[in-house]
Structure 1
């Protein structure tokens, strides 16, 4: 399955680099032609063709974007987020999920993990981070915790916490953020039923 994801990503890049480039070149050439053209009849045809090419370009961009997004593999993306922190923190990851999970969940989890690890690097006085990603029959769960000490009261609008809440809310998920002498803990759950309703 990971090999399939890589191939989809390669195809997306090739379409973007080759077809996208040729369409862009054609649109520019038509624009230059319309400037020097004096024939109204030909001008209308040029405008129609330009509209068609622009529509094709929009369609190609949308398809490439979707193809690329679908090819994102969560585990390697999480490993990329973790790598810069390994010199300072002992990071453990517990993965138990299918890579076939919705791309919306993947991007939500990656975004929350990035925010959490950024906050930990800036503010935590701890030395370990534990990440758990699990798939259950009815929902997906993400847990991120460090062992640093922090105030029990935190600024809900600071440190990217509001952004995390927005990501969770966009998928009708629930996020619980706690802090104290035992560390900072983020627990996020996303029901699968809500994802099915969003796609239908």
Structure 2
């Protein structure tokens, strides 16, 4: 009876595991479909609208106010396309089984984790050859700083929107985190979190600047020079 029960329990566990695998494959299939639709339908339409507005700009060159408003819309469309592209990357590369994880995916996963504590998903934009030009040591510092910045936004800033930008190019790795919260209390004279972020920048010969946002909130700018001739971080892909 014991052997029979053990066999039945093993069979039940195996069935449950196969069911989880099937659900995971179905989820990944849905994400791939959504990513394709975003790219083929949404991004292409936004790009076409931006081009149309660009052609209109030359016709209203004599009206500065209209030109400025149109250019602002074009810039907003460009930013929206970048956000959607980052979202597509996250959909296509998140939770992939048996896959070595690159820095882009780790950043997307970290932003996804922060959704729970923030109460909303932070906007994430990534530009440059992040997976190939950022060494492992820089990647580890970058992720730690981003985690601390998102934690601060959730615990202290009471923000309702957070924008994260990661860029690798021209020999520099840059992380900016901007929120619309209440900003840093001027009475605060000591913060271990800010000290750690500054130390991580200094260890890479970089810099940390924290300034008030406009019109509210906090703007964090963390930079570190990239060494020449560096290869990809472990698990990175171009």
Q: Which of the five TM-score ranges fits, normalised by the shorter chain?
A: 0.5 to 0.7
Which residue pairs with 1:91 in the alignment? 122
Matched, 1:176 2:209: yes
- Aligned with 1:104: secondary structure? helix
- Alpha-carbon deviations, 1:57-92, whole Å to 9, x = none? xxxxxxxxxxxxxx6521221222222333512411
1:9-24 residue pairs with structure 2 within 5 A? Answer: none
- Runs of 4+ with >6 A deviation: none
Q: CA deviation at 1:158?
A: 1.1
For residues 99-143 of structure 1, the C-alpha deviation after alignment (integer angstroms, 9 at most, x for no partner) is: 021111111110100101111111122211101011122211110
In structure 2, which of residues 172, 186, 190 is the aligned counterpart of residue 157 of structure 1? 190
Q: Count residues in correspondence.
A: 126
Matches within 5 A, 1:62-73: 73=102
RMSD: 2.4
Q: Is the 8 A contact 2:107 2:143 kept in 1?
A: yes
**Structure 1 unaligned regions, length at least 5:** 1-70
Q: Give the equivalent residue in structure 2 for 1:109.
A: 142
Structure 2: how far apart are the matches of 1:154 and 1:168? 24
Instruction: Tell me the distance in 1 between the aligned counterparts of 2:121 and 2:111.
Output: 10
Task: Evaluate the alpha carbon distance shift between residue 165 and residue 186 of structure 1 in structure 2; reply closer, same or farther with a 3 A threshold.
Answer: same
- TM-score normalized by the length of structure 2: 0.48
Q: Is the 8 A contact 1:148 1:183 kept in 2?
A: yes
Mean Cα deviation higher: 138-147 or 184-193: 184-193
Q: Which runs of 5+ in 2 are unaligned?
A: 1-99, 231-238
Taking the aligned partners of 1:91 and 1:72, their CA distance within structure 2 comes to: 21
Report the Cα distance in structure 1 between the residues aligned to 2:174 and 2:112, rounded to whole angstroms: 22
The range that moved more, 148-157 or 130-139, is: 148-157
Q: 2:180 aligns with which of 147, 157, 161?
A: 147
